[in-house]
């Protein structure tokens, strides 16, 4: 195994070069050690957003999960309360009919995971109360 850890000058350690011989380590360091080191030095972070954060019933809402840090490919799992919405993509579009909380869990193949939620307010559609004076035709006086 050849490896080099060096400070980056601002108090953190960067993993610059790591070459492993599987025969020497039986894969243990490659699959667990690098992930553990990366998880400690550069932990998985997650921020979620909804655009817009308030809408009318049935209007599209763009959900987004911004992942930082971690190791490996992220996997996404979205759900909602009330139930009915599920997605496995990073930035899905939802069409809520009532105010809804969306939950996302991001994980990777090294066992790291983070969860977060975002609330989307759904404003009720306006109700119009029209007086009972009709019907009217074009040109009639009201």
Q: What is the mean pLDDT of each run of 10 residues along the chain (142 residues)?
A: 42 40 39 56 90 95 94 93 98 97 93 95 82 72 67
Alpha-carbon distance of 24 to 3, in angstroms, equals 13
The confidence score (pLDDT) of residue 114 equals 96
Burial 50-65, CB ≥16 within 10 A → b, else e: beeeebeeeeebebeb
The confidence score (pLDDT) of residue 22 equals 39
The confidence score (pLDDT) of residue 12 equals 40
Contact 67, 113 (CB under 8 A): no
- pTM surpassing 0.75? no
């Amino acid at each position: 195994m050849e490896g080099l850890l060096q400070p980056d000058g601002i108090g953190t350690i960067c993993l610059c070069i790591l070459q492993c011989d599987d025969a020497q380590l039986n894969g243990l360091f490659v699959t667990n050690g690098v992930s553990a080191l990366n998880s400690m030095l550069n932990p998985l972070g997650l921020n979620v957003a909804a655009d817009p954060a308030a809408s009318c019933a049935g209007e599209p809402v763009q959900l987004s999960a911004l992942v930082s840090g971690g190791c490996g490919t992220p996997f996404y799992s979205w759900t909602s309360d009330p139930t009915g919405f599920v997605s496995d993509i990073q930035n899905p579009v939802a069409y809520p009919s009532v105010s809804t909380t969306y939950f996302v869990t991001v994980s990777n193949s090294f066992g790291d995971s983070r969860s977060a939620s975002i609330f989307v307010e759904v404003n009720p559609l306006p109700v119009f109360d029209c007086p009972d004076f009709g019907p009217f035709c074009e040109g009639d006086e009201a």
